[in-house]
Structure formats: structure tokens, C-alpha cells
Amino acid sequence: MANVGGIDRVLRFIVGVVLILVPFVAPSVQALAGLGSWGWIIGAVGLVMLLTAIFRFCPAYVPFGIKTCARE
């Protein structure tokens, strides 16, 4: 049962990819920004966002009854 759709899905995909790349692309930027080992946590959050975009399901939406997809 999908609860992620349209713009929400596209934004999750884009932000997810960007967050996944943070630990790999910009290690020097991480040091300058003071991220340190937080870069890997940010990457993990990006992975979750990417997976929710791919599967069109966000478990965090369920308790609140949120659906951003078109009504069926």
C-alpha cells in the first residue's frame, strides 16, 4: 500500500542520493563543517529516504495517517 507519491517521491529520491554521497564526495568538507563521523549517519538517513522513494512507502507516515499519493 503506497503512501508516498508525486513530488514527495521525487524530493526523497534527490535528497536521498545527495545525502548518500556526503561521506564519499566531500570528506574535507565534512571536516570543515565539523561533521566528523556524522557523515556516515547522514548517509544512512539518505539510504532510508532513497528506499522510501523507491518502494513508495514510508513507515513514519502510518501512525499519522499521512498519504501524499493520489487517492485510489
How many C-beta neighbours within 10 Å does residue 66 have? 12
Q: Could you tell me the residue ranges of all domains in the chain?
A: 6-60
Q: Judge contact between 50 and 58, C-beta under 8 A.
A: no
What pLDDT, on a 0 to 100 scale, did the predictor assign at position 27? 64
Identify the residue with better confidence: 64 or 25. 64
SS3 15: helix
Question: What average pLDDT does the segment 33-60 reach?
Answer: 86
What pLDDT, on a 0 to 100 scale, did the predictor assign at position 35? 61
